[in-house]
Structures are given as C-alpha cells and as structure tokens.
Amino acid sequence: MSLASGHQTVLLAEAVAALAIRPDGCYVDGTFGRGGHSRAILERLGPQGRLLAFDRDPQAVAAARAIGDSRFTLLHRRFGDLAAALAEAGVGAVDGVLLDIGVSSPQLDEGERGFSFRFDAPLDMRMDTTQGETAAEWLARADIRDITEVIRNYGEERFAFQIAKKIVAARSERPVATTGELAALVRESVRTRELGQDPATRTFQALRIRINQELEQLALALPQAVEILKAEGRLVVISFHSLEDRIVKRFMREQSAPDALPKDLPLRADQLPPARLRLLGKPVRAAAAEVAVNPRARSAVMRVAEKPALAPAREVA
C-alpha cells in the first residue's frame, strides 16, 4: 500500500494474513506509522471488531486522525507500554499483536527530523519530539567510551573508537549540532566501507537506536504481547536489521520451548508445562517484486508465533 505521504508499508499482505484476523476480534498495531497495516486490518474486521494502534511520533498521531472509524483507537504511547496502555483503555486481552519495528520512511525522508545524513538539519533523531534528549544533546555530554560503545554495539561499526574520538575532539571547539556536521566527521574517520553504503550509515543507525531506546522497547514489548494474547492469538513481528531480529528470534525460540525442569522428575511428556508460544512457518522476507518497488523492504524479516490454547499465564517482565 502506498499512502499519500509516499510511505510504502512493508510486507503488508503477508503481515495481515499472518494475524489470521477474526471479524469480531481485537487487535493491536504496535507501530501505526502512516497506517498501512492498520487500514488493512480494519478492512477485515466486522462491526464488532476493534483495533488499537500505538505510535510515539506526533506526526503519526496526527495522520491517524484521518481514520474516522469508531472501531479504531490511536494511543500516543511507546509499544513498550503495551500492557499498561491497554489496561487503561479497558482492554484485557487481544487476538493479535503486530509490531513493525524501526524507523519509518517519513521519519527518514523528512530532513528536519534529523534521522538521515542525506539532509543537513538539526541533529534530533527523536521519534517522540515532545520529550527526551536529542542526538545532539547526547553527543554533547557523553564521554568517549559511551559514544564508542553505542556506535560499536548498535551500529556494528568497526571504526567506532575513531569516530567517537573525532566527535569528542570536534565538540571541544563547537557543538556537533547538525546531521551534516556529524556525517562529515564520520566520513573522515571511516577508512573503508562496503560498496554502495555511505560511511555514516552505521553511526546514524546506532545513535537513532540509542536515542529512542529501540531495542529496550522491543525487549519490553515482546513478553507483554504474549501475556495479553488470547489463546490462539498471533504475534507478528517485522524487523529491519540483525540486532532487532536477533532479539525477536531468541525470544520466540525461548517461549516456544517448555519450561526446563529437573531431569529426575518422574513426569511423562504430556505432563510437562506447555510452551507459551508455537512458531508458525519460517521467517518471511519481501519478494523480489516488492524490493524492486521499495528497496527498504530488502532487509525486512517477519516472524510469526501463536499462543497455544493451553499456554500458561506469565507475569510481564
């Protein structure tokens, strides 16, 4: 689906199909963005169905106002607040949760947001521009060790120390305040790079993840999603880089295995506690036709799991 903003929803048909939507069901779109998934879900819901969408970006919240549907509720919240926000909305359990992780195309394409090195703009990078610390503010106070660790761990950048050293040296003369200034410092520090990739790519990714606590929010949301799912409810997660997908893959794998018990307990297999999730199919990637139209779909990976009918309740971490 291509919306007026130019945003193209990745794995739209595949994700909505994976939810196995029931017309009278209640669903969560944890990342509204520009509403591609939400609109497709609403098309499949009946009059008694309900959809609650989350987004922390004020521009996404504004875009959601265009959906004049009584079955739809938009919550200006992080999906890491999933359980609490649904409880406040009077929702106890849902039939499906969809998480489309990471930055959205409008955030990258609107230069003033400060996410992209393609534009020279204030170095902001906040998904929720109403609160929190900007990337420029964090770079002004962080020490060289913290900057190095963020760029290395979240950007998987082998020149992390050299980049951090260059940033700290530059800010001693004047603040690193714009995307153009940061990109120039990174390019001076990175000696080699993969063909076709800008030297600043990994550093910008790392800072964006740090500023928005993206991996922490994902780790918080996954167990909450399992907790609020009804029996046979679906969890669908689309990730766009290895750090996200690693968290999702590990979580689903752990939740699909029965609890470990002492080996000497006299229990039959059918007496063991059931797993909390059942994996469905193999990871799904965008088809070549979708990638040709939307190159950002190239790195997308979708994983799907279902809550078994006999899955035990579990406290949310």
Could you tell me the CATH number of the domain that includes residue 270? 3.40.50.150
Q: What is the spatial distance between Cα 91 and Cα 83, in angstroms, rounded to a whole number?
A: 9
Shared domain for 283 and 294, answered yes or no, is yes
In a domain, 67, yes or no: yes
What's residue 260's pLDDT? 56
Q: Which of 180, 212, 244 delimits the end of a domain? A: 212
Q: Is 156 left (phi over 0), alpha (psi -120 to 50) or beta?
A: left
Q: Is there a contact between 36 and 3 (Cβ–Cβ < 8 Å)?
A: yes
- Tokens at residue 240, please? 């766009």
Per-residue pLDDT tens digits for 174-209: 999 999 999 999 999 998 777 778 999 999 999 999
In a domain, 76, yes or no: yes
- In terms of C-beta density within 10 A (0-12 exposed, 13-18 middle, 19 or more buried), how is residue 222 classed? buried
Shared domain for 278 and 134, answered yes or no, is no
Q: Which of 212, 240, 258 delimits the end of a domain? A: 212
In a domain, 28, yes or no: yes
Shared domain for 206 and 117, answered yes or no, is yes
What's residue 6's pLDDT? 52
Shared domain for 83 and 116, answered yes or no, is no
Is 8 marked within a binding site? no
- This prediction has a pTM of 0.89
Shared domain for 194 and 137, answered yes or no, is yes
Shared domain for 100 and 222, answered yes or no, is yes
In a domain, 71, yes or no: yes
Shared domain for 94 and 180, answered yes or no, is no
Element containing residue 201 per DSSP (H, E): helix 201-212
Shared domain for 99 and 241, answered yes or no, is yes
- Tokens at residue 47, please? 């009059």
Q: Which of 212, 230, 251 delimits the end of a domain? A: 212
In a domain, 167, yes or no: yes
Is 180 marked within a binding site? no
Shared domain for 61 and 19, answered yes or no, is yes
In a domain, 7, yes or no: no
In a domain, 274, yes or no: yes
Please give the residue range of the domain that contains residue 16.
Answer: 12-105+214-306
What's residue 267's pLDDT? 56
Ranges of the chain with pLDDT below 70: 1-7, 259-273, 310-317
What's residue 191's pLDDT? 80
Is 37 marked within a binding site? yes
What's residue 301's pLDDT? 97
Q: How many domains does the chain have?
A: 2
What's the CATH code of the domain at 118?
Answer: 1.10.150.170
In a domain, 313, yes or no: no
Shared domain for 24 and 62, answered yes or no, is yes
Q: What is the spatial distance between Cα 198 and Cα 186, in angstroms, rounded to a whole number?
A: 10
Is 79 marked within a binding site? yes
What's residue 108's pLDDT? 78
